Structure 1
Amino acid sequence: MMRRSHKKSRNGCLECKKRHIKCDETRPQCINCTTVQRECRYSTPWAGAERSPSHRSASPQVSPPGHDLTPTALPAAFPGLHPLATGEEPHSSVDMVHMELLHHYLTDPVLHIAPSSSLREVMMANGLREPYVMHSLLALSAHHLSVIRPGQEVFYRTLATQLQTRALSLFNSIDVSLLGDSAEKRVPVFVFSSVLGFHALCDSLTYRDPDFDSAFARFMGYLRIHRGLHSVMHGYWDELRKTELKHIFNEIVPRWYHFDNVEGRECDEIRERIRSLGLDAEEAEATQKAIDLIQSVFDAKPRPEDRAYVLCTWAAMLQRPFVRMLEAARPEALAVLAYFFLAMHHCRSAWMIGGAGQHLLTLLANHFRGGEWYAWVETPYRVLQDLLIQLAPAPSPPAIDESCTVPMARDFVITRPHEADAPRIAEIHLAAMDSNPLLHAQFPTPESLESLQQFLRAYTAEQLQNAASGVFVARDPDTGLIAGFMKWDSPSHPEDVKLESGDLRYLEGCRREFLDGYAALATEAKSRCFGDEPCYRLNFVCTDPGYQGEGAGSLLTRKVLEMAAADGLPVYLESTEVAVQLYTKLGFQVLDGFEMSIPRAGSAELSEVYRELCMVWRPPSK
């Protein structure tokens, strides 16, 4: 039987071409392939220049973990993220993982970068029309899940990278000439650029670089990505005000920014310093505009919960002369950035920010420390330190005797322990830490806590085999019973491996993500505070609850302070908030801090913020 002839088309799917049958060219799957349940594939993302970009397949492309994406250079704000090579085909079908991401995006109000339901509807409508927008929204959803589900962080971060990679590939394949002079056709491009910039910010704030140069390079990579929408939208801003985006231009932006009626005083000092420089008119105006935008974050009109939205639009609102000053890393521009980082710290409750503002401002202050420009950032850095101290609540009972510098101490005998003391030290360790919520996040079951105690016995016994180990105990002079212990290290007594980074991570029942997360934050904080400067470090100061308030911990700490003073070295520690005032009375000062989200006891939700402050004691100058 002869096959009926048909008009040939270059735009049909590959399966119909192979079978020499007419293809109706429906995408993502033609009717022929849908009917016989074949995989439908096309040789191009969409057919021909005469078709609109909206004809492209909306099927998300997710490569399996470990898939080697063809590399193309991108700014450092997206480490490991590269667009796919031109010409790769979006063959992959939608699966239940994508459905989970879409459901999460639609139902979790914390995730949205659009502060109103009408804007979220606009974003979703454009996502359904344009696959590059949908991929970007799903990538953002995956990134959020990587934050709130630390046990699956690697899976969702990889997924977010792959989805954003695919979004960039699809976006880069657009024939811009098809947009013509239509502002309406640029709406999805605007939405995509906004989501891409927001995702770039989230990604850059995930990292904790050890020095300011690295952190600044990463931040500038984000800023260039976020400002990419200016090149796409150049000449069309006024027309966009008449599109479905009119709500954001005509209502939300005026609501957030009140440049003619600045109320807050947080940025007054930097304004005056900038005026004193005598910048040319263009740079002076652009810099003052950047400061106004930062003040808008502090003011957070009309609602404090809008603060994070205002912060996340800062990069896009900057004027070009100030951006050039940042790109040249001019110190006056970096000083303005210090106030932006302080404003970021005010937004720390937002899921994508956390402790990033504190980290970046501390790095910047250390970058300027000792130079003439340090005075420019000293005020925001001092405000940050004051905020950290204010966040520390008063210690819980038993109360400290205010009539003396530290709690009244019994005549405890401070000695080095014997190997046979290891079980008692392990017992005190768990008893003293029982009120610490992080311990129960790391070891959530009675079985895991029992495993921890057995581990601590063996671990401490191995430590005590070394006569020079950094362990002291306070013994009750009447009974000989150990009332408390302290573990420390120093340049002459280095700790081989931090406890949370060692074999403890492999105990059955432990939540390794909270051990790893804490160890990483603590290491980063110490690096920020000291760099390579030698110091003593207090790792644990634990007292049996039965001896609490009798001065055992203070005597143990004083012992190390005496040794550090003899060596002329500072002493560093990370303190829970309840112990800050006690260490302050011993002469310690707050330098920095860090926080992490953990679950409450009996819950899987990351609903509690655990915080520690970094403190230093320095020997008196001779």
Structure 2
Amino acid sequence: MRTNTSVRGRRSHQKSRHGCQQCKLRKVKCGEEKPNCANCTRHGVDCSYAHAARIEGSSSSSCVQPTSPGDASTMLSGSPGSDGHSQAATAAATDLAIADLELLHHFTTSTAYTFSRHPILQSFWRVEVPQIGFTAPYTLRAILALSALHLAHLRPDQSPSYIAQATIHHDAALKLATPEMANITPDNSAPLFLFSALSTFIWCAKPLKPGNFLLWENHEIASWLVLIRGTGTILDFADEALKNGPLASMFSARARNRIAEPVPQHQILENLRYLVMEDVPEPHMAQVYGSVIDEMNRPFVMCLERNLRLETADVFSWLLRVPHEFLLLLKDYQPLAMVIFGYFCVLLHQLEWMWCMKGWSTHLLSQIYNKLSPAYRAWIRWPIEQIGFLPPR
């Protein structure tokens, strides 16, 4: 017995070239309603025509010969336009910021190990710091900027290109972070704290030049110093949120290296205090200079008496605690302030195992020596001998 059967064919429809990306991914016809198509409205998903247009634009341009031999799409996809696979690969490659990915890879595999010799802190910079960067574009930009400067240090022949990348990323980061600094919350305290720390390294990694005293230049306090002193505000505002949050491993590792008990004044600083107090007739200024010398005592005892390895926080925390009035004296080249800063150079010298700190102690001490009169030059004889700086005759 013969049975009449009919095969139902596929319903014909007109293909949409301008539908939203979500309908394209689901392979359904888009009604192209704006701003949200009916399909997306029904399913409660975001409708993105702009993204779809960008993808289509990338695909259509993938058949065009790259403008330069070093184009990322050429390197990743081979010969553009040779077949469908290479065209798709080319389109995908043009959506990737290859240079930025290189910087992020270098940070996690190399730069992250250069901030500390402590294994826990190395892991912190390698793992947690990029993760925090993904939550705050200004921190991520600072990571990329510092990685670029590290590559400039390692590859001198490509230094101008990497320094240019670093400048672009850090300038963009500053624009993003500055408004956040005025509105510190427990949620943004960790990325802002890291951004300040990274900005310190970025500034130190820049090429040395005459007239740059690290803390000030051309009678102006350095912008990075104003920024890092803001971390004191962050610590005051969100101390517990930082120490118990994503920065917990950093603070706990640092705590193990600290001297808990009070320590007597180091003899070298006691001698310096005596010289300074003999030269300062005004009680208020004597108090300012005395407090600055006292703030150096703990790291001096750590490295010179107990032979402990100094971390960057042990040295740069001095900059968070000195009075603003002392910084004003420094930028005006006041002799006593310059002498005290010369002793701080001994602490900076303890960090010269870091690539971004290399040469800073000698650079600063030589400029301090040139600014001081012969009478005050004798006061910095001890720092000169400790660092191994040879003054000009």
TM-score by length of 1: 0.43
Choose which of 313, 319, 328 in structure 2 pairs with 1:315: 319
Instruction: After TM superposition, give the deviation of residue 97 of structure 1 in Å.
Output: 1.0
2: CA distance, partners of 1:148 / 1:262? 42
The answer to whether residue 42 in structure 2 is matched with residue 38 in structure 1 is no
Instruction: After TM superposition, give the deviation of residue 264 of structure 1 in Å.
Output: 5.9
1: CA distance, partners of 2:215 / 2:231? 25
Contact 2:142–2:169 (Cα < 8 Å) also in 1 = yes
1:201 aligns with 204
Contact 1:105–1:111 (Cα < 8 Å) also in 2 = no
1:157 aligns with 163
What code does the residue aligned with 1:187 have?
Answer: A
Instruction: After TM superposition, give the deviation of residue 326 of structure 1 in Å.
Output: 3.4
**Residue pairs, 1:316-465, within 5 angstroms:** 316-320=320-324, 322-370=326-374, 372-384=375-387, 387=388
**Residue pairs, 1:139-158, within 5 angstroms:** 139-158=145-164
Instruction: After TM superposition, give the deviation of residue 138 of structure 1 in Å.
Output: 0.7
What code does the residue aligned with 1:172 have?
Answer: T
- Which structure has the highest strand share of the two? 1
**Residue pairs, 1:291-306, within 5 angstroms:** 291-292=296-297, 295=300, 298-299=303-304, 303-304=308-309, 306=310
1: CA distance, partners of 2:216 / 2:327? 17
Contact 1:135–1:164 (Cα < 8 Å) also in 2 = yes
**Residue pairs, 1:116-155, within 5 angstroms:** 116-117=121-122, 119-120=124-125, 121-155=127-161
Contact 1:187–1:245 (Cα < 8 Å) also in 2 = yes
**Residue pairs, 1:258-277, within 5 angstroms:** 260-261=262-263, 265-276=267-278, 277=280
- 1:1-37 CA distance string (max 9 Å, x none): 9xxxxxxxxxxxxxxxx9833288xxxx975555565
1: CA distance, partners of 2:210 / 2:191? 34
Instruction: After TM superposition, give the deviation of residue 202 of structure 1 in Å.
Output: 2.4
Change (3 A) 1:236 1:302: farther
Change (3 A) 1:299 1:214: closer
The answer to whether residue 102 in structure 2 is matched with residue 100 in structure 1 is yes
1:287 aligns with 292
2:43 aligns with none
Contact 2:114–2:354 (Cα < 8 Å) also in 1 = no
2: CA distance, partners of 1:125 / 1:352? 23
Contact 1:290–1:322 (Cα < 8 Å) also in 2 = no
Change (3 A) 1:176 1:216: closer
- 1:314-352 CA distance string (max 9 Å, x none): 423434454454355432221110012233234333211
Change (3 A) 1:292 1:381: same
In the alignment of these two chains, the number of paired residues is 314
Q: What RMSD over aligned residues (CA atoms) do the two structures have, in Å?
A: 4.0
Secondary structure of 2:357 counterpart: coil
- Which structure has the highest helix share of the two? 2
Change (3 A) 1:290 1:329: farther
2:61 aligns with none
1: CA distance, partners of 2:381 / 2:370? 10
Contact 2:263–2:298 (Cα < 8 Å) also in 1 = no
Q: Mind listing any 5+ residue stretches in structure 2 that lack a counterpart?
A: 1-13, 15-31, 41-45, 58-93
2:36 aligns with 22
Instruction: After TM superposition, give the deviation of residue 245 of structure 1 in Å.
Output: 2.6
Choose which of 245, 249, 269 in structure 1 pairs with 2:247: 245
2: CA distance, partners of 1:163 / 1:332? 38
Contact 1:255–1:301 (Cα < 8 Å) also in 2 = no
Instruction: After TM superposition, give the deviation of residue 107 of structure 1 in Å.
Output: 0.8
What code does the residue aligned with 2:188 have?
Answer: K
Secondary structure of 2:362 counterpart: helix
What code does the residue aligned with 1:260 have?
Answer: P
What code does the residue aligned with 1:270 have?
Answer: L
2:72 aligns with none
What code does the residue aligned with 1:21 have?
Answer: P
Instruction: After TM superposition, give the deviation of residue 366 of structure 1 in Å.
Output: 2.0
- 1:347-386 CA distance string (max 9 Å, x none): 333211222211210121121132x4333223322444xx
- 1:18-74 CA distance string (max 9 Å, x none): 9833288xxxx975555565389xxxxxxxxxxxxxxxxxxxxxxxxxxxxxxxxxx
2: CA distance, partners of 1:104 / 1:160? 13
Contact 2:205–2:356 (Cα < 8 Å) also in 1 = yes
Contact 2:220–2:331 (Cα < 8 Å) also in 1 = no
1: CA distance, partners of 2:305 / 2:95? 43
Q: Percent identity of the aligned residues?
A: 19
2:193 aligns with 190
Q: Mind listing any 5+ residue stretches in structure 1 that lack a counterpart?
A: 2-17, 41-91, 389-589, 593-615, 617-622
Change (3 A) 1:321 1:293: farther
2: CA distance, partners of 1:227 / 1:380? 25
**Residue pairs, 1:53-92, within 5 angstroms:** none
2:175 aligns with 169
